[in-house]
């Protein structure tokens, strides 16, 4: 390389570094706005980590602008085209770090690697802390190691290629365990390797609903202290247990079902071809008002619960109308089903009414049941304390778990109960 080429290369690198630094500042501001829109905040230490860690070094093959967008770069897919490795959306990473409350000197385990999130954690634990980033995929581990070395975090972060089901016992106990893949269950190793005063942050699926739960150990069980909306690639290895996708109309309209709930595709597909019934609740919601606990309420009180989804092709058939592009809560029986919907009640579309669309011989009954659940949520739980979630050992007896929904997992029993909000008279489930 001659002198002129060297000068040109150094100038290009300087320009790229300056652009990346600016994009990191913009990304931190985007996270602040995202959280402010729903009334929450992010600690300054986390924002400073976002401003510091060069995210683009962990997204090879992706442009600077894409690397720093508040989006999810997919880094790898399986043979069916399902994303199995990604760099999570920055707002979600910041949210989970906020949930974790990581302080300098901690020992942290991350299950599900990629490198970038581990580097953010390294900034939070500081030079006296340690980070173990674990993944089952050798390609992901290699990419993480390369990014961590290039970014200068390989002295703080240890990358382990292993099955996350079993944790990393050789580095335990951990003050924090952060799981960055969709988890169908809580394996015993995670609880055993967590410090007595530790926190487990995990996107656990409950009847197909995925939330980032904060669990703390208490008297032989895990107790949830808070949770947030979340969405991650599926866990691989011994713990892999993906949701079933029950086809109602080819691949275009699909009912996603979890936790071994019974469902028959053929009669529900026939029901979809029939007329639609609708029912409206009178329960209103503002355009920016969060209502994610409604889905959890429906999953708790309904005998069956899943998510109805559709592709663009599926929506073009006119057979289903989904308010949210990624899907809506649904319930079903043997040959009929109903799903949640909303309709605008003001011209400027700032206020909406909850209702239900339903198909099949029992459509009217299922739609009315969903409306009754909507009204009970509005009356007894809306803007309340939310559900109380615990994870108990598989051996826990019925009399030792809270009254409410009990979801049987492979390793555990997950309970969801709804404390009565003070001043309200509705019945506690």
3-state secondary structure of 174: strand
DSSP-based three-state secondary structure for 363: helix
Q: Say whether 88 is catalytic.
A: yes
Question: Using CA of residue 185, residue 187, residue 193, residue 196, what is the dihedral sign?
Answer: positive
Burial class (CB in 10 A: 0-12, 13-18, 19+), 351: middle
Tell me how many helices (H) and strands (E) the chain has.
Answer: 11, 19
CA distance 82 to 171: 32
Whether residue 366 contacts residue 338, with contact meaning beta carbons closer than 8 Å, is answered with: yes
Q: Which residue has the tokens 């980070």?
A: 131
Q: Can you tell me the distance from the alpha carbon of 386 to that of 273, in angstroms, rounded to the nearest whole number?
A: 37
**Of 124, 201, 114, the residue nearest 161 (C-alpha):** 114
CB atoms within 10 A of CB 410: 13
Alpha-carbon distance of 192 to 329, in angstroms, equals 34
- Angle 299-303-306 from CA coordinates, rounded to 5°: 45
Q: Parallel, antiparallel, or unpaired for β 351-359 and 276-286? A: antiparallel
146, with CB counted inside 10 A (0-12, 13-18, 19+), is middle
Neighbours of 125 (CB within 10 A): 21
Identify whether the C-beta of residue 75 lies closer than 8 Å to the C-beta of residue 143: yes
CB 374 within 8 A of CB 393: no
Phi then psi for residue 267, to 5 deg, are -65, -30
Catalytic residue among 86, 88, 133, 281: 88
Q: How far apart are CA 145 and CA 114, in angstroms?
A: 8
CA angle 145, 98, 65 (to 5 degrees): 55
Q: Are 376 and 353 in contact (CB under 8 A)?
A: no
Give the side-chain half-sphere CA count within 13 A for 351.
6
* Residue owning tokens 């340690």: 130
Cis amide bond preceding 222, omega within 30: no
Catalytic positions, written as ranges? 88
């Amino acid at each position: 390389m001659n002198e002129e080429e060297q000068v040109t290369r150094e100038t290009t690198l300087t320009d790229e570094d300056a652009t990346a630094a600016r994009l990191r500042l913009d990304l931190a501001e985007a996270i602040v706005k995202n959280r402010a829109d729903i009334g929450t905040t992010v600690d300054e230490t986390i924002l400073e980590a976002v401003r510091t860690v060069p995210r683009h070094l962990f997204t090879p093959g992706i442009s600077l602008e894409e690397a720093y967008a508040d989006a999810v770069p997919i880094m790898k897919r399986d043979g069916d085209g399902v994303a199995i490795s990604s760099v999570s959306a920055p707002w979600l990473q910041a949210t989970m770090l906020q949930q974790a409350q990581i302080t300098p000197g901690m020992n942290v385990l991350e299950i599900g690697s990629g490198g970038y999130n581990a580097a953010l954690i390294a900034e939070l634990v500081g030079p006296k802390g340690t980070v173990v980033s674990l993944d089952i995929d050798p390609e992901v581990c290699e990419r993480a190691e390369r990014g961590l070395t290039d970014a200068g975090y390989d002295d703080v972060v240890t990358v382990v290629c292993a099955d996350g089901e079993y944790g990393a016992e050789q580095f335990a106990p951990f003050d924090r365990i952060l799981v960055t893949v969709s988890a169908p269950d809580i394996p015993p190793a995670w609880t055993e390797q967590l410090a007595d005063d530790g926190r487990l942050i995990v996107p656990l699926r409950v009847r197909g609903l995925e939330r980032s739960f904060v669990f703390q150990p208490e008297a032989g069980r895990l107790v949830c202290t808070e949770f947030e909306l979340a969405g991650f690639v599926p866990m691989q290895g011994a713990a892999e247990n993906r949701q079933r996708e029950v086809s109602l109309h080819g691949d275009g309209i699909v009912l996603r079902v979890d936790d071994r709930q019974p469902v028959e595709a053929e009669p529900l597909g026939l029901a979809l071809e029939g007329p639609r019934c609708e029912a409206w609740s009178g329960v209103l919601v503002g355009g920016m008002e969060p209502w994610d606990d409604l889905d959890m309420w429906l999953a708790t009180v309904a005998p069956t619960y899943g998510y109805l989804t559709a592709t663009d092709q599926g929506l073009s058939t006119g057979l289903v109308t989904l308010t949210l592009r990624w899907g809506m809560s649904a319930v079903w029986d043997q040959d009929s089903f109903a799903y949640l919907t909303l309709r605008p009640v003001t011209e400027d579309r700032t206020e909406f009414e909850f209702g239900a669309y339903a198909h099949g011989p029992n459509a009217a009954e299922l739609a009315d049941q969903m409306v009754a659940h909507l009204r009970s949520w509005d009356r007894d739980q809306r803007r309340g304390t939310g559900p109380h979630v615990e994870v108990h050992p598989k051996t826990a007896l019925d009399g030792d778990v809270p009254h409410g929904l009990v979801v049987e997992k492979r390793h555990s029993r997950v309970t969801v109960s709804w404390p009565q909000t003070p001043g309200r008279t509705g019945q506690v489930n």
